[in-house]
Amino acid sequence: MSREARVGIFVLLGLIVLTFFTFRVSKWGLIAEKGYRLTVDFDTASGLEPKSDVKMAGVPIGKVEEIELAGNRARLILRIQQGIRIPIDSVASIQTQGLLGEKYVEILPGKDVQRNLPSGGQIANTLSPVNLDEMVRKLSEIGDDVKKFTDSLSATFGTEEGKKALGDILRDVAATTASLRTVVQGNEARIERILANIDRLSADLSDISAANKEDVRATIENLRAFSDTLKTETPSLVRKLEEMSERVSNIAGDNRENLKESIANLKTASARLDNTLDSAGRVMAKIDRGEGTLGKLVNDNTVANSLTGAFDGISRYVGKYDALHMTLVPWVEYQTGTSDWKYYLNLKMQPTADKYYLVGVVNDPRGKRTDSSSFISVGGNPPVETRIVNFEDDWKFNALLAKRFSRITVRGGIMESAGGLGLEYDVVKDRFSVGADIFDFNRPENNRAHLKLYGNYDIFKNLFITGGADDLLNRDSAYRTFFLGFGIKFPDDDLKTVIGAVPIKP
Amino acid sequence: MIAIRDLSKAFGKKVVLDDLELTVPRGKNTVVIGGSGTGKSVLIKCAMGLIRPDAGEIRIDGQDILRMDEQELVRIRRRFGMLFQGAALFDSMDVGDNVAFALRRLKMVPEGHIREVVEEKLSMVGLRDIQRLMPAELSGGMKKRVGLARAIASEPDILLYDEPTTGLDPIMADVINDLIISLRETLGVTSITITHDMASAYKIADQIAMLYKGKIIEVGRPEEIRTTSNPVVAQFVQGRAHGPITDESEEFVRFVSR
Amino acid sequence: MTDSTAKKNGALRLAELLGERVHAMVLDLGAIFTLFLQVVSSAVRPPSEFRNIVKQMEEVGIRSMPVVLVTATFTGMVLALQSYSGFQRFGATSFVGSVVALSITRELGPVFAGLMVSGRVGASMAAELGTMKVTEQIDALITLATNPVKYLVVPRVVAATIVLPILVVFADLLGIIGGYFVSVYLMGANPYVYMSKTYQYLEFKDIYTGLIKASVFGMLIALISCHHGFVAQGGAEGVGRATTRAVVASSMMVLISDYFMTSFMF
């Protein structure tokens, strides 16, 4: 072959490949375009780009060719492949593929298969995309409703009449709880056993060690038996039991010695059962009839409706990812140094495996600080100022954003009503994790930030124990403490069942 | 006729040519002799316009080539042919293409006749049937002769020889000498030869010029040079180690004065 | 000599050396630009160098095909491998095709082809012209009424300018194919999705800007290599030095000019 021929072939081949490319690349030349054009108008084409896919039943059938403004709406010009027939009553919508994925135009085929859209035709029916703005608007509506609710609450309880009503309600509630005693009476033996178990459990937890692990296990067995028992009861009974066991555990925590006595009192009180049940029935009936502000509130459907609407909006948005796992996590911690209990209730919302949001409340035994000072003069000496710092328990809230990188989870946001950061490491995946939180960098008296080291161990899927050291950096050694505790995780499904069981609408 | 006046050239601080004067008569062979590194090659490269001197003039039939633009220079170069020291054959082409190079470039001969003409030129230097060979396959003497054939292919009227006999055995050197003489006789060309080979110089020269320290220090017919009274020229032509050249040059002193 | 003067001399020497280097660089730059002007002005003058251009196209183009194609294929493959494992982390593996295609056509195809050609062809041009220089063949050209720039440099520059984009077209193709093979057969990507993603975001602009770059690379490589060959002196060693300089300078110039072209074109 001559040199000229070789070079000629080389150049020719290059041109052929180049021509091939020009035909394959999407945004080039009119020669390569096949198929017919359709137009469709949307309120917004945000997120959509030329070359985005057009799909029918999930199958790509064309591309978005141009996006232009027609009036104040977005006009898309679609190029549909030859041979694809689109019924004249089809509906076009803008959809998103995956989380933060690309947008595409989905065409829901109509029923009128006899008449198809001609070339250059317009798809008249569109569905506007669910957009974030709309969701935010709905959420703010909810906010308004909540505000209205609290306003009316304060209006109710602020007035003299309200106070009286509240007193009535409280009395009724007291009567209601009293009626619980009947339930207790019916299951006296069992409850006694449960309480004994709880008692033992908390005793075990306060000095947990490798040596009495078996006990813990037994306790947990018992707890399980307890929860099983709870499950077998009717939902209302479960609810009542929950309320009650909360009280009981308070009693158990503060006043272990008096516990049995209290139970004895409970027993004696049970005599008034019928009476109180009647009262409870009367209150409920009142509320049901819409008497009183609370009754009105409970019976007013607008709040419930807008809540439902908003939830629909969210679930439509969220439902696409079908992955927002919610877990309600209550737990308690017993602080050995100060013999205090600290209560937590957190809601963990997890849209993807690698991140979650956490909101919740904490009851901190030293949540509220009051400083007072007094001057004491001893033996004619000049008065000495003595400062007294008092702590009372108070509610604080958490709002955290967490992101997971392999086994490490980094989280930050508001921790116990103060800015904070945390790091958690999964030692055994989904089973045992250790972590550190540091928050409240701006404490009074130049105190150092609040550092908490902890380890969580899941004994069962839904039950975990926790332990660690709290407030390690505190200048006052009295507040540095170890803690032990346990908690329960209510995952999605259980939570939904629980929420479902709560009669939001009467 | 080539007239060189006041020609100066320095490379950096080293002055190679210093107000050099030389007249080369038409149709004669002028041999420039001189030691290695005295600037002989620079002289003929200046004459051909390959090196631009710092000052002076070089007149070819009255035209100063140093005042010419590129176009005119290209035109005047067609009158030149040059034989390089290493022949400088284009080693990517065969002998035939080498010899035919200028003929093709300047389209002096139609493509159909090129082989004939090349064969004729090669026969003038005593070669035949080697057109297909590559330069790498040739001996030193053959290369020089092919180089000569290439230089005369475009029928120049001025020929420059850069050390034509250097690196050749005495027999081949004499063959080249004969060729130079016969080319002068048959083609009537004006030529400048630079060499330090005195046997060759005496044989081919009509006029010998001695280059020393950037100047032509003596010009004369071969027999005049042979019997010169100038001690510098005498030392050079007689090839003596002791004499004014070596006495003045530090690089020789160390060896010679021992 | 005291210590301080020695130090001062050292510092001065350093400054001098630096100055010399900068001076040499400026001279080189000037010489290359002058060479470019000479190429442009002599390219249009008769006689036509068509045969020489074709010869150089064979040398620069066809002979460079294997090395450029192998480089491009493996570049595409490794690109697919890397972006696949990276994109897997956020579930965007379907974009591997787009990433490979865009990276190859816009950047890696032209740059790697340019680097390969500057290594292979730049060296051979500098060596060939350097040898011609030290054996007086370039002087011989002049005595044969031939402008060496026109005869030697013009065909090389023209050929490299034409041929490099063609090489890059092949490199683009092979790079995409290499990425396809790795993704589909090694990583288990869906072949249809991969190919459609490859072309979905590829615009013709991506390809032709790559080809324009390649053209400029070709021209620069040829100019720089010819320049270094032309200024070679001092026998075989000088030729070797010229070759090294040509390769280093042209490779660097490919990358430097790539930055500027990219910032202007995109």
Residue type, A382: P
C137 touching B (Cβ < 8 Å)? yes
Q: What is the pLDDT of residue B219?
A: 85
Taking an 8 Å cut-off on Cβ atoms, the answer to whether A7 and C61 are in contact is yes
Residues of B in contact with C128 (CB under 8 A): 92
A32 touching C (Cβ < 8 Å)? no
Sheet hosting strand B190-195, strand order edge to edge: B80-83, B158-162, B190-195, B29-33, B207-212, B215-220
- A220 pLDDT higher than 70: no
Taking an 8 Å cut-off on Cβ atoms, the answer to whether B105 and C47 are in contact is yes
pLDDT band at A191 (very low <50, low <70, confident <90, very high): low
B178 within 8 A of B113, measured Cβ to Cβ: no
C144 touching B (Cβ < 8 Å)? yes
A74-117 residue pLDDT tens: 888 888 888 788 888 888 888 776 555 677 888 888 887 788 88
Residue type, A416: E
C37 touching B (Cβ < 8 Å)? no
Q: Which of A1, A4, A6, A7 best probes binding to C when mutated, by most C CB atoms within 10 angstroms?
A: A7
**Whole-angstrom Cα distance, residue C141 to residue C154?**
14
Sequence length of chain A is 506
pLDDT band at A266 (very low <50, low <70, confident <90, very high): low
C60 within domain boundaries: yes
A24 within 8 A of C199, measured Cβ to Cβ: yes
Taking an 8 Å cut-off on Cβ atoms, the answer to whether A25 and C62 are in contact is no
The closest of B130, B181, B164 to B40, measured between CA atoms, is B164
Taking CA atoms, C96 is separated from C30, C75, C106, C130, in Å, by: 44, 14, 15, 46
Residues of C in contact with B46 (CB under 8 A): none
- A333 pLDDT higher than 70: yes
Quick one: how far is CA C36 from the chain centroid?
A: 16
pLDDT band at A401 (very low <50, low <70, confident <90, very high): confident
End-to-end distance of chain C based on CA atoms, in angstroms?
Answer: 59
Q: Which of C88, C168, C169, C205 best probes binding to A when mutated, by most A CB atoms within 10 angstroms?
A: C169
A27 touching C (Cβ < 8 Å)? yes
- A307 pLDDT higher than 70: no
C19 within domain boundaries: no
The arithmetic mean of pLDDT across residues A347-361, rounded, is 83
Backbone angles phi, psi at A100, to 5 degrees: 55, 25
pLDDT band at A503 (very low <50, low <70, confident <90, very high): very low
C72-86 residue pLDDT tens: 999 999 998 888 888
* B188 CB neighbour count, 10 Å cutoff: 10
B73 touching C (Cβ < 8 Å)? no
Q: What is the pLDDT of residue B176?
A: 85
Q: What is the mean pLDDT of chain A?
A: 72
Specify the range with the lowest mean pLDDT, choosing from A159-168, A415-424, A464-473, B200-209.
Answer: A159-168
Q: Are strands A103-108 and B63-64 parallel, antiparallel or unpaired?
A: unpaired
Taking CA atoms, C204 is separated from B13, B200, C196, C207, in Å, by: 58, 70, 15, 5
- B220 pLDDT higher than 70: yes
B101 touching C (Cβ < 8 Å)? yes
B45 touching C (Cβ < 8 Å)? yes
DSSP-derived secondary structure for A410-446: EEEEEETTEEEEEEEEEEETTTEEEEEEEE--S-GGG
By C-alpha distance, the chain B residue nearest C47 is B105
**3+ Cβ–Cβ pairs closer than 8 Å linking A and B:** no
Query: Judged by CB atoms within 8 Å, which residues 138-197 of B form the interface with C?
Result: 150-151, 154, 160
Taking an 8 Å cut-off on Cβ atoms, the answer to whether C143 and B151 are in contact is yes
- C166 pLDDT higher than 60: yes
Whole-complex ipTM: 0.82
C58 touching B (Cβ < 8 Å)? no
- The Cα of C207 is separated from the nearest Cα of chain B by a number of Å equal to 37
Domain count along chain C:
1
- The Cα of C235 is separated from the nearest Cα of chain B by a number of Å equal to 13
C38 within domain boundaries: no
Q: Which chains pack against A, by 3+ Cβ pairs within 8 A? A: C
The closest of A348, A296, A359, A299 to A324, measured between CA atoms, is A348
**3+ Cβ–Cβ pairs closer than 8 Å linking A and C:** yes
- A198 pLDDT higher than 60: yes
Residue A140 structure tokens? 């703010």
Which residue among C131, C132, C139 sits closest to B50, beta carbon to beta carbon?
C139
C52 within 8 A of C141, measured Cβ to Cβ: no
The closest of B135, B164, B149, B137 to B99, measured between CA atoms, is B149
By C-alpha distance, the chain C residue nearest A19 is C169
Q: What is the pLDDT of residue A144?
A: 76
A132-149 residue pLDDT tens: 556 566 667 777 777 776
Q: Helix/strand/coil (H, E, C) string of A103-156?
A: EEEEEECCCCCCCECCCCCEECEEECCCCHHHHHHHHHHHHHHHHHHHHHHHHH
- A29 pLDDT higher than 50: no
C108-160 residue pLDDT tens: 999 999 999 999 998 999 999 999 988 889 888 888 888 888 888 999 999 99
- A50 pLDDT higher than 90: no
A221-265 residue pLDDT tens: 766 666 666 555 545 655 665 666 566 556 555 555 555 555 555
The arithmetic mean of pLDDT across residues C101-106, rounded, is 88
What is the widest separation between alpha-carbon atoms in chain C?
Answer: 79
- Tokens 């041979």 — which residue? A83
Report the run of H or E that residue C130 belongs to, with start and end.
helix C123-134
Q: What is the pLDDT of residue A282?
A: 62
Which is more confidently placed, B108 or A494? B108
**Whole-angstrom Cα distance, residue C7 to residue C13?**
10
B23-48 residue pLDDT tens: 888 888 888 888 877 788 888 888 88
Q: What is the pLDDT of residue C5?
A: 58
Q: Are strands A463-470 and A481-488 parallel, antiparallel or unpaired?
A: antiparallel
Residues of A in contact with C94 (CB under 8 A): none
**Whole-angstrom Cα distance, residue C258 to residue A52?**
31
Which is more confidently placed, A170 or C111? C111
C110 within domain boundaries: yes
Inter-chain contacts counted by CB atoms under 8 A, chains A and C = 67
B49 touching C (Cβ < 8 Å)? yes
Task: Return the SS3 of B196.
Answer: coil
Residues of C in contact with A31 (CB under 8 A): none
* CATH number for the domain whose boundaries are A323-501: 2.40.160
Residues of A in contact with C163 (CB under 8 A): 10
Could you tell me the residue range of the domain that residue C192 belongs to?
49-265
A149 touching C (Cβ < 8 Å)? no
C137 within domain boundaries: yes
**Whole-angstrom Cα distance, residue C155 to residue A493?**
77
Q: What is the pLDDT of residue A321?
A: 41
**Whole-angstrom Cα distance, residue A40 to residue A38?**
7
- B257 pLDDT higher than 80: no
Query: How do the residues of chain C divide into helix, strand and coil, expressed in percent and rounded to 5?
Result: 90, 0, 10
Q: What is the pTM of this model?
A: 0.55
Residues of C in contact with A25 (CB under 8 A): 199, 202-204, 206-207
**Whole-angstrom Cα distance, residue A251 to residue A262?**
8
Residues of C in contact with B74 (CB under 8 A): 145, 147
B136 touching C (Cβ < 8 Å)? no
Taking an 8 Å cut-off on Cβ atoms, the answer to whether C200 and A51 are in contact is yes
The arithmetic mean of pLDDT across residues A415-438, rounded, is 86
pLDDT band at A506 (very low <50, low <70, confident <90, very high): very low
Q: Residue A502 gets which letter from DSSP? A: S
User: CB under 8 Å to C174, separation ≥6 — which residues?
Assistant: C69, C72, C73, C76
By C-alpha distance, the chain A residue nearest C210 is A18
A109 within 8 A of A125, measured Cβ to Cβ: no
C12 within domain boundaries: no
User: CB under 8 Å to C138, separation ≥6 — which residues?
Assistant: C129, C132, C148, C152, C230
**Whole-angstrom Cα distance, residue B2 to residue B58?**
7
- B122 pLDDT higher than 60: yes
- C174 pLDDT higher than 50: yes
Specify the range with the lowest mean pLDDT, choosing from A44-58, A294-308, C28-42, C87-101.
Answer: A294-308
Q: Which chains pack against B, by 3+ Cβ pairs within 8 A? A: C
> Where do the domains of chain A lie?
1-32, 34-129, 131-145+167-313, 323-501
A23 touching C (Cβ < 8 Å)? no
Q: What is the pLDDT of residue C248?
A: 92
C250 within 8 A of C217, measured Cβ to Cβ: no
A464-487 residue pLDDT tens: 889 888 888 888 777 788 888 888
User: CB under 8 Å to A111, separation ≥6 — which residues?
Assistant: A87, A89
Q: What is the pLDDT of residue A296?
A: 52
- A501 pLDDT higher than 50: no
- C189 pLDDT higher than 70: yes
Report the percentage of chain A scoring pLDDT > 90: 1
By C-alpha distance, the chain B residue nearest C137 is B88
